[in-house]
Structure 1
Amino acid sequence: MTDLQYKIKSALFGVAIGDALGVPVEFKSREYLDQNPVTEMFGYGTYNQPPGTFSDDSSMTFCLAEALTHDFDLTRIGENFVKWYHENFWAARGEVFDIGIATREAINRLARGEQPEFAGSIHPSSNGNGSLMRILPLLFHIKDLPISERYEITKKVSSITHGHIRSVISCFYYLEFAKEILLGRNKFEIYKKLQTQIPDFLNSLSINPHEIALFDRLLKEDVSELEKNAISSSGYVLHSLEASIWCLLTTDNYKDSTLKAVNLGEDTDTTAAIAGGLAGLLYGFDTIPNSWLELLARKDDIEDLAERLTTKIGS
């Protein structure tokens, strides 16, 4: 297996395993999970799904990855999202059981013929984590491009479902972090590097300074020093981004980072999917517990997708 294929496989499975860990306890409170922590992959719970069932987070991640096995095309990405929602394309077990409001509305606009770049709402209230949760495969398409191109492509792919600048910046930060992991850098060094690189670049674009300031905890502070009660785990995109980086920085292996994300409560599957994508990249596929992988829905299909994406990216 090539290094690139291993990295792609680690990212895709990293997202899916985190997602599946969180599905049974989505919407459970932190207080509940403090008393009943998730320690292993299990099933049923919130959606009454078997163990190893991933949700919209992974399905849309795989829809994006699937599109990237061809030439980059926003329309194809949007069409795959429509196929997922309307035809169960890349659903874990043949049915869609979880979708965010903004994502559903954007997909309905796509189905009616809206251009993908403009399908996502640009309203400040539409800043759920629906584009951040599925953005990771884009890393492999943009990793060798200049930062301005990485940003512009990320903005377009986020905007298929979430067009507000806050969602775009969140996706951009996440992919820049992931890109540095690909280069083999230490996670704390990456965190410090981005505290200069991200603001410098965003300020060059004349983005509203208020929007950039919303990221101050990541860009000016050390989130790894925060206590758990200072970390929010709702479906708000900035909460999801902060929580995932916090889980990555305050653990030292894949298993602990994803379980920590799940046990924050609320949007458990998405926080763990986002954290799990980075942790998968950082620690590698071989560090994901085999007992979890054995339960994962469609693992052979995911492996095949990783191979096909590798072939395209490496060509």
Structure 2
Amino acid sequence: MTANRNRWLVGTVLTLALAAFLSLSLLPILGSNDNRRAGSTPDASPPADPAAMQAELEAQARGYELVLEREPENQTALQGLVDTRIQLGDINGVVGPLEKLVELNPGVPDYAVLLAQTKQQLGDLEGAAQTYRQVLDQQPGNMNALQGLTVLLVQQERPQAAIGLLQDTLRTADRLEAEGGAAGIDVTSVKLLLAQVHVEVNRPDQAIALYDETIEAAPEDFRPVLAKALVLQDQGDVDTSQALFAQATALAPAQFKDQIELMSTQGQAVPEGSDGGAGLVEPAPAPAE
């Protein structure tokens, strides 16, 4: 179970690193910039007493609720309420304000993805899948939604459905390219995610074939090189995997080099105690952890 989880964590790094997408861990951002206008004081030192901190968060939540009673569409208060309820561990209480934010911002898919994650954590898998699909209907290349729905399907032990979803996305990209339109689909990231599903269901040969295809198409991208190294490492091919780890380290931006080196030396997907992109993979918003 841990190995599978670690592989999904690495899959997120491979899929989303270097891409111009917002992290799914948006909730701290949502509340941070505008809290002052809603009446909170985020720059103040937090109380050392856990009970006092709890009371302060509850007071903040109540303050946002009072604002929303007067101004139901006040987005600063909605964002603050979401953030505060996450800190309080009140995941059920996040759904309402997130649904309102989705309604008020139909062109901002990140709110919908967060809503889908929240529903998934609460066990509303049908609601989560429907929300992910609504995002993908509008933006078939939205990697946050595509990643979220893929993970949901795999967790439901429906890997073939996940594979079908990703293959359909690649066909959509081909069709849009043939029509001369802007596909808006990161084909490399979709292929990496598809390969990750093959790894999850113990089809390493198919995963490696996809990695090789992606390496040929994007030789400067460290992600498929790293992914192939991890698969070969699992198969016991130490020499080849170490050569690929070195290649991935050379290609990767500075912020990923240390992590790749740890992967190569420790023989694990994500170093123990590191974030490793976990907030991007979990079906619920990362700040709830």
TM-score calculated relative to the size of structure 1:
0.34
Which one has more relative contact order, counting CA pairs under 8 Å at least 6 apart? Answer: 1
Query: Hey, which of these two has a bigger chunk of helix by percent?
Result: 2
Select the structure of larger CA radius of gyration. Answer: 2
